[in-house]
Chains A and B, each alone.
Chain A
Amino acid sequence: MVDDPSERDAYRDGYAHGLMTGTGPENGSRAIVQAQDLRRRYGEGEAAVDALAGVSVDFPSGRFAAIMGPSGSGKSTLMHLLAGLDRPTSGTVSVGGVELTTLDDRTLTQLRRDRIGFIFQTFNLLPVLSAEENILLPLSIAGREVDREWFDRLVDTVGIRDRLSHRPAELSGGQQQRVAVARALISRPAVVFADEPSGNLDSKASGDVLALLRHAVDDFSQTVVMVTHDAHAASFADRLLVLADGQIVHDGEATSPEQALDLMKAVG
């Protein structure tokens, strides 16, 4: 479907024109996602809870970051704010140079559509569509042409070519999540947010999916931000952030699962 022209103009105004090309910036060190003093408060008065109490963090392009933290640490809230799914109480978020906090719902939706990829714990494929249609869904929604070459490359990378015409119900959990990874990558987003991508998978399938994400970062220069409570999953990343009580308590190179677990024990 085609949006009306006025809507498209508004959308352009919301972005820097250069970012419309769809490929991420080549400069690997430039921050693609930036957060400044993010605060998110739920409720009011005495019952108010600060899920995030002032978080500033940058995610450089082409890197794989893992965010860990115990339940209630604010890691999910942080990801929702970075992905434009929720609005901060104060502070700013920018993705690809576009300030999210001032965008209206429509422009924000279009930004998510074109610049952000999502991978969910529960896969979240549409049961009525085939695997292929699910992968192409973001492009269908945007009404954009399919880059067949890119599609073929992705399908072969995630290894589901013989399953393309199947519906999600006919796929295993691991296969479903691989379809979801392809879906997240199909629009060449500026950043992919993965929310516990291996949480619903057995260890074999879990390893496959995490390796895929690693692969996307290494071979496609994709930026990936992953929330997880699984130390093994976090060990696939380049960088490990640990949150506790709404604040970043650790930010460093990713380590072995054992060290990550120690870090978690220290805050938990």
Chain B
Amino acid sequence: MFTLVLRGFVQRKLRVLLTAIAIALGVALMAGTYILTDTINHAFSEVFGSAYANKSVVVTEKETLGGSQASALTEATLARVRAVPGVAAASGDVSTSAALLTTSGKRLTSGGAFGLVDALQPPRFEAFTATTGHLPNVASEVAIDEASAKRNHLTLGQQIVIAGRSPARHYTISGIAKFAGSESFGGTTVALLQPSQAQYVAGEPGAYDSINVAASPSVAPEELASRVGAVLPRTLVVRTGAQEAANQTSELEEKLGFLRTFLLIFAYVALVVGAFIIFNTFSITVAQRTREFGLLRTLGALRTQIMRTVIQEGLLLGVIGAVIGLLLGILLAPALDGLFKAFGADLPDNGTVLEARTVIVSLGVGIVVTVLAGLFPAMRATRVPPIAAMREGVQIPPRPLSTRRMLIMRFVLGLVLIFGLGAVLGHGIGLLLVILWTARAIRLGARLRRKGERPPRHYRVIPALGHAIGALVAWRGITGRLARENSVRQPGRTLVTALALTVGLGLVAFISVLAAGTKTTIDNAVNRSFAGNLIVQNSHNEGGIPAAVAPAVRQVNGVGEVTAIAFTKGRVRNLSASGAPVIDEQSTVTAIEPESFARMYKIEWEHGSNATLVTLGQGGTVLTKKFANAHKLRVGERLSVATPSSHVVSLTVRGIVKEEVLGLLSNLTISRSLARTAFGQREDAINFVAYAPGASGAEVQHGINTLLRRSFPQAHSQTAAQYTQEQSNKVDKFLLLVYVLLALSVIVSLFGIVNTLVLSIYERTHELGMMRAIGTSRRQIRQMIRYESLITSLIGGVLGLIVGVVGAILVTTFALSGSGYVLSIPVGTLVVLLVIAALAGVLAAQLPARRAARLDVLSALASE
């Protein structure tokens, strides 16, 4: 029987290819995702490996809460480490993110990456070597990594600007440096400075981020690590170089895991769409081969043999699709990389890493999805009676014969399914999604196909929708009229074909509506809450701005008032009388200047007033309503908060604010002076600026910009309108990325339309022959098929819009209620989506239309 399957495949090359592509594209995105993230991980682990290769032991601070807290590693710590027996050498290291710019203000980094400033280490520790010039010998010199120098056309003797947590300084390039391991840092630029200069940029003279230790020849790194650990406080972490490299690599992999999940979601969406198409194609071909199956049954083939034939076809198709997908995935990975670079995530990569896991998972998922999608049509094929071979138009009995064998088969199938799910573990949810969606489509299709039984009302929507949309083309004469009738001839088939498109377009519509709402929400909130004139913040994503910005801006002519806002973190830990934690939650903490904040930001109070802020002092906090309600906290109660700099502070609740759309006020808000002392907060996030009465806004902003360009080039000032515009641009950028990724699913569904059309045309060969015989021109045939495709794609488009918009409305009504989110329907975008659906339909019809028009009249008439 397998020979029969193979013969069939060879004979139907085009159909096999079209169907295989349906599954291949989803598999390609999956394989591409793995390859890309593996490649990035590999590049990072190479970087970390070389960075710590010459370091026996590394001392760092415990990173419990993150944030930019003050460093506890000082010269004294360094001296203590040096005194440990077995230490051959030790050196303090600084590694801080900073803005690296040309003298004209252009950033050296690319693709949204941040700049990195490293303190030059003694040669035994330093991973960089100079390829041109020399590493910085004096305070005014800097060495730049090779890739960045090339990208920015930097040469020796040129000046660059480095802006970290202190006012910006100019440095002269003394050397171009090459890293010992990987050549690629992605879009990152590394600048090597003398240690004291690196400390200046970090804003902490005399403090280090880590201490590198080299062991004497006879001492093992592990032994040395425990010796060093014994003389240092518990707040510090001592690891061997190898451990530190592994630790950093795994931390990074965790962060990249998000990227992987994000991309895999889109791969699964494409696979769902692919499964629809496989199911539809198999259903149609099984129906068309009723006679063939009947003949096989007449010749003595068992039901199980028929079923096996169809399943084998699914398996073979799955293998072909998955292999094509894997190969496409290898090609796709660099394209995905380019996509992320274009959208502001330039990550390092070296070569292409193809792990065995990628191959196994991609092939496995591709094959499983295909076989599952083909399973139900296969079961249908078993119900073809032998008489079908003799007579024309025998219908497959609608209900399965519930013989014992069928029951056993189902049970086995169920087991296989469950074990299959368990085996692919991480992909369980994705597969479940595919199965649920496909099952739903199958039920719909089956009910519509069943003759003599009127489908439930909501399934009748397809003929109704088909007729309504068909009206658009029906006035175009007989071709439009026929197209309309043909598209609702097999409602189940049209539905599944259209649903494939609905999945992609529905998600696009859903995201579009949410994005439009987000923009409106930000816009409204800024207009309602912001009472100042300018917002000063980092113009990139290097983080915050130096604390020195606020006092400097205050000095600019025409500035009335400046208020600085910072963000830090804390762990809220309240214990009950018995010592059990009542609250144990890590949270962002907002730090404000109590005297001026309320004058530039309208707070909506639940309990308290603007005067409450002044009472914050060193022990007060204001909570959001949500946080207070969640932990049943009231004004006057006390909270215990552990800070990033390892203090524990006790805070009294002074007031409660209503929900905050912009998220400027976090769960907890404290005074900025407390953040400085107890939380070790060194930099600000945002400054709000108000003009002095009578000052010219344009002149003041110009004055501030001049100051920022000179001393704090990482920051920029924006009016409320400029700020909301930038936010809206960010939303649009993300939206575009999502569109590009969903486009793949839409392309997959186009193949579905092509497939269904080709199969329908094959079915209607005789009819087309008659039409040609009585004088229908080839052009009219082509037009009819195009209209048919147009109707199908518009059904998919309209359903997609409905699903997307309704979904977005439901989400905003239920999940986002009370968050101040404002719903906004982007009518223009939705219209464009419909137009795209229509164009897609016409595009998909090209090949089928040409095939239909090419039919030879006589052989078409002779066919059955």
List residues of A whose CB falls within 8 A of some B CB.
1, 3, 80, 83, 85-86, 105-106, 109-114, 116-118, 120, 122, 124, 126-129, 133, 137-138, 140-143, 183
Contacts and interface: CB of A to CB of B under 8 A. Distances in A.
A129 B858 contact: no
A124 B864 CA distance: 11
Interface string B467-482: 0000000001111011
A183 B478 CA distance: 15
A111 B783 CA distance: 20
B733 interface: no
A1 B477 contact: yes
Contacts of B485: 128-129
B82 interface: no
Contact of B766 (A106, A124, A183): A124
A3 B857 CA distance: 21
B775 A142 contact: yes
Q: Most chain-A Cβ atoms within 10 A of its Cβ — which of B477, B482, B775, B783?
A: B775
Contacts of A120: 770, 861
A106 B853 CA distance: 12
B475 to A, nearest CB: 11
B222 interface: no
B478 A1 contact: yes
Contact of B773 (A1, A110, A114, A118): A118
Contacts of A133: 481
Contacts of A183: 774
B697 to A, nearest CB: 62
Contacts of A117: 774
Contacts of B767: 124, 126-127
Contact of A141 (B489, B776, B778): B776
A140 B652 CA distance: 85
Interface in B541-564: none
B858 A86 contact: yes
Contacts of B778: 105-106, 109
A141 B784 CA distance: 11
Q: Most chain-B Cβ atoms within 10 A of its Cβ — which of A86, A122, A126?
A: A126
B695 to A, nearest CB: 69
A109 B856 CA distance: 12
Interface string B761-779: 0000011001111111110
B54 interface: no
Contacts of B776: 109, 113, 141
14 contacts: A1-B780, A120-B770, A122-B766, A124-B767, A124-B770, A128-B485, A129-B485, A138-B774, A140-B478, A140-B481, A141-B478, A141-B775, A141-B777, A142-B775
A226 B774 CA distance: 16
Contacts of A116: 775
Contacts of B476: 1
A118 B477 contact: no
B857 A118 contact: no
A113 B774 contact: yes
Given A109-B777, A138-B775, 4 more contacts: A86-B858, A109-B776, A110-B775, A118-B770
Contacts of A126: 482, 767, 770-771
B486 A141 contact: no
Contacts of A80: 858
Interface string B742-771: 000000000000000000000000110011
B619 to A, nearest CB: 81
Nearest to A122: B766
A86 B770 CA distance: 14
Interface of B: 476-479, 481-482, 485-486, 489, 766-767, 770-778, 780, 783, 857-858, 861
Nearest to A112: B775
Contacts of A128: 482, 485-486, 489
Nearest to A136: B478
A137 B489 contact: no
Nearest to A114: B775
Given A1-B476, A1-B479, A140-B478, A106 B777 contact: yes
A138 B770 CA distance: 11
Contacts of A106: 777-778
Contacts of A111: 775
A110 B489 CA distance: 28
Contacts of A114: 775
Contacts of B780: 1, 141
B659 to A, nearest CB: 57
B487 to A, nearest CB: 10
Given A1-B476, A1-B479, A128-B485, A112 B777 contact: no
A127 B393 CA distance: 14
Contacts of A112: 773-775
A116 B477 CA distance: 22
B858 A85 contact: yes
Nearest to A142: B775
B494 to A, nearest CB: 13
Which 7 pairs across A and B sit closest by C-beta, in order of nearness? A113-B775, A128-B485, A140-B478, A124-B770, A1-B477, A112-B775, A141-B776
A109 B772 contact: yes
A250 to B, nearest CB: 26
A141 B767 CA distance: 15
A122 B777 CA distance: 22
A57 B367 CA distance: 63
B773 A85 contact: yes
B138 to A, nearest CB: 81
B309 to A, nearest CB: 30
Contacts of B477: 1, 140, 143
A6 to B, nearest CB: 13
A127 B485 CA distance: 9
Contacts of A124: 766-767, 770
A143 B773 CA distance: 17
A111 B776 CA distance: 10
A235 B769 CA distance: 30
A141 B477 CA distance: 8
A141 B774 CA distance: 9
Q: Most chain-B Cβ atoms within 10 A of its Cβ — which of A113, A117, A141, A143?
A: A141
B617 to A, nearest CB: 81
A136 B476 CA distance: 16
B773 to A, nearest CB: 6
A133 B773 CA distance: 17
A141 B485 CA distance: 16
B266 to A, nearest CB: 38
A111 B775 CA distance: 7
A118 B772 CA distance: 11
Nearest to B864: A122
B478 A118 contact: no
A143 B767 CA distance: 20
Nearest to A106: B777
Contacts of B486: 128
Q: Most chain-A Cβ atoms within 10 A of its Cβ — which of B478, B481, B780, B857?
A: B478
Given A1-B478, A120-B770, A85 B775 contact: no
Contacts of A118: 770, 773-774
Given A85-B857, A86-B858, A129-B485, A110 B777 contact: yes
Contacts of B772: 109
A36 B858 CA distance: 22
A20 to B, nearest CB: 15
A220 to B, nearest CB: 19
B150 to A, nearest CB: 58
Contacts of A85: 773, 857-858, 861
A108 to B, nearest CB: 9
